Amino acid sequence: MINGILLDISGVLHEGDKVVAGAAEAVKRLRAAGLAVRFLTNTTRRSRRRLIEDMRALGIEVDPEEVFTPAAVAMGWLSQNGFAPHLLVHPTLREDFSGCSTGGPAAVVVGDAAQGFSYDNMNAAFRALEHGAPFLALARNRVFRDKDGELSLDAGPFVEALEFASGTKARLCGKPSPEFFQASMDSMGCRPDEAAMIGDDAESDVAGALAAGLAMGVLVRTGKYRPGDEGRFTPAPSSVVGDITEAADLILAHRAG
Amino acid sequence: MINGILLDISGVLHEGDKVVAGAAEAVKRLRAAGLAVRFLTNTTRRSRRRLIEDMRALGIEVDPEEVFTPAAVAMGWLSQNGFAPHLLVHPTLREDFSGCSTGGPAAVVVGDAAQGFSYDNMNAAFRALEHGAPFLALARNRVFRDKDGELSLDAGPFVEALEFASGTKARLCGKPSPEFFQASMDSMGCRPDEAAMIGDDAESDVAGALAAGLAMGVLVRTGKYRPGDEGRFTPAPSSVVGDITEAADLILAHRAG
């Protein structure tokens, strides 16, 4: 019995500036059937405030407590462990760290810094790691589908570069970290075997959720999906469907019967 | 019996702008004892022409045929296989590729591009790989000792980033590629079990040479050497000595008796 749904945002509910047709209605139908819904994103180019504004502008109902971001996980870790962040993140994400301590020892926090991934910024982060700073990665995604329709480099390759250079393994805050999936399920009071993930990333969203023990991992063919993705990662998706509407149909049918 | 010596350049013969004390004399003594000498560098911030000029300015005798660079290996591969280079290399290295074909399909060639490792340049290289371009790495070194005395990111981390993003493994042109060591030994008419490598990089120079079958791999404590490097990589160095002078003493003593 599926009682909770985890939804990726970018590529599932919207593609760039455009809503995926039927997305708002699909979310409504899931809620109307009594399912709890949480939104898990590795998108690290938008603040949490902006994410919620954008989803509402697309007609998708969302309560702020339903949105889980890697930056929030990182903030929790920094404050619990007494570190100030050395940020290598997108400028639009800096506001998510505005409540952080600025004194004390630094921890390197790497997100999708985009043009911020200059050699000098990468080297400064490397040197901080060399001097013993802890290393937090907001995400380890390889690529995302860019505005021009082509794939572009996400945070993952730059996290790998810094790990290779420093010999320090990053603590992953976003998907597919099992802790990230678990925190969102805890907030719904839902066990992994009662939960399903819907995502366009066969690796981070779908294989990640299944590895974290979720009952279902549904891959949609929108967003960054490319033909063959369903065979590239282990565990393989429970199902592959056209879009969020078909994913909702599948889950509601599964729940009904 | 050691009959041929492979020498790293940066960190062994000079540190930044300064010659390592005794380096010119040590090279002369090796030659005077009848040993063949070759210079193998992964330094990809200087053209071959400039390398030779700089070595001569430091008082080190060198014949152009004695210098082996990854760019020369890459050039050979490009012309044999009919590819034009998509270069992500240091501006000072571009002249080494001036003889290349500019038409036809492109192969991505990554060296130590330094400030050229911008997000946009990395993304353009990634997209070329996504479209099927072959991938040549001039080097895979993690770090080098920068002008300010601290370690800085070398080409390796950026090669790793592009491999992770594209799923395409780079063909390594520089050390520790066994082909690179072999080409330099062939030019001396020397078998691996008659050759010794002297380097400051425990991984690329020393473990790489021993893995390629060389009789001796001598680690010097100049250049990028950091305490403990001798225990970090396999195979471990045959010997660890203070500098090129002590390395020459060791090899000449070994040869004498």
Over residues A161-201, the pLDDT tens digits come to 999 999 999 999 999 999 899 999 999 999 999 999 999 99
Whether the CB of B124 is below 8 Å from some CB of chain A: the reply is: no
Going by the DSSP 8-state scheme, the letter that residue A202 receives in this structure is I
Answer yes or no: are the C-beta atoms of B83 and B106 closer than 8 Å: yes
Q: Whole-number mean pLDDT of chain A?
A: 95
Q: What is the DSSP letter of A20?
A: P
pLDDT confidence bin for B7, thresholds 50/70/90:
very high
Backbone angles phi, psi at A137, to 5 degrees: -110, 125
3-state SS record for A119-184: HHHHHHHHHHHHCCCCEEECCCCCEEECCCCCEEECHHHHHHHHHHHHCCCCEECCCCCHHHHHHH
* Chain position carrying tokens 């697309």: A58
| Three-state secondary structure readout of A93-125 | HHHHHCCCCCCCCEEEEECCCHHHCCHHHHHHH
- The per-residue pLDDT for A146 is 87
Residue B144's pLDDT is 86
ipTM > 0.85, yes or no: no
Residue B177 in this model has a pLDDT that exceeds 80: yes
Q: Which residues on A lie below 8 Å from B152 (Cβ)?
A: 123, 126-127
pLDDT score recorded for residue B38: 97
What mean pLDDT do residues B78-101 have?
93
Name residues whose C-beta falls within 8 Å of residue A80's C-beta, 6 or more positions apart in sequence. Answer: none
Beta bridge partners of residue A177, listed in sequence order:
none
Half-sphere exposure of A216 (CA within 13 A, CB side): 25
Whether B160 sits inside 8 A of A160 (CB atoms) is yes
pLDDT band at A17 (very low <50, low <70, confident <90, very high): confident
Report yes or no: A123 at the B interface, CB cutoff 8 Å: yes
Mutate to test the interface with A, among B44, B152, B229, B233 (most CBs of A within 10 A): B152
Query: B17 — contact with chain A (CB < 8 Å)?
Result: no
Q: How many angstroms separate the first and last alpha carbons of chain B?
A: 9
Hey, are the CB atoms on A119 and B113 less than 8 Å from each other? yes
Contact A157 B117 (CB under 8 A): no
Report the residue from B150, B151, B153 with minimal CB separation from A122: B153
Tokens coding B230: 């001798």
Tell me what percent of the residues of chain B surpass a pLDDT of 90.
87
How would residue B88 be classed by pLDDT, with cut points 50, 70 and 90?
very high
Total length of chain B: 257
Please provide the DSSP assignment of B80-142 as one string. HHT-EEEEES-GGGGGGGTTS--SSSEEEEE---GGG--HHHHHHHHHHHHTT--EEES----
- A153 closest CB neighbour out of B123, B157, B160: B123
The residue with tokens 């000792």 is B145
B126 interaction partners in chain A (CB closer than 8 Å): 143, 151-153, 157
Q: What is the pLDDT confidence band of residue A127, given thresholds at 50, 70 and 90? A: very high
pLDDT reported for residue B147: 84
Quick one: angle between helices B178-188 and B70-81, nearest 10? 100
What size, in residues, is chain A?
A: 257
Indicate yes or no: CB of B127 within 8 angstroms of CB of A150: yes
Q: Which amino acid is at B182?
A: Q
User: Are the C-beta atoms of B166 and B130 separated by less than 8 Å?
Assistant: yes
Over residues A26-31, mean pLDDT: 97
Mean pLDDT of chain B: 95
What was the pLDDT predicted at A158?
A: 98
Residue A99 — very low, low, confident or very high, per pLDDT cuts 50/70/90? confident
What whole-number distance in Å separates Cα of residue A204 and Cα of residue A175?
Answer: 6
Q: B153–A120: do the CB atoms touch at under 8 Å?
A: no
Query: Per residue in B212-222, pLDDT tens?
Result: 999 999 999 99
Q: What pLDDT is recorded for position A48?
A: 93
pLDDT of residue B75: 92
Dihedral (Cα; A163, A166, A172, A176), 10-degree rounding? 20
pTM for the full predicted model: 0.83
Contact flag B118-A120 (C-beta cutoff 8 Å) = no
Using the Cβ of A144 and the Cβ atoms of chain B, whether some distance falls under 8 Å is answered with no
Whether A120 and B120 lie within 8 Å, measured CB to CB: no
On the question of pLDDT at B148 being above 80, the answer is yes
> Are residues A164 and B160, on separate chains, in Cβ contact within 8 Å?
yes
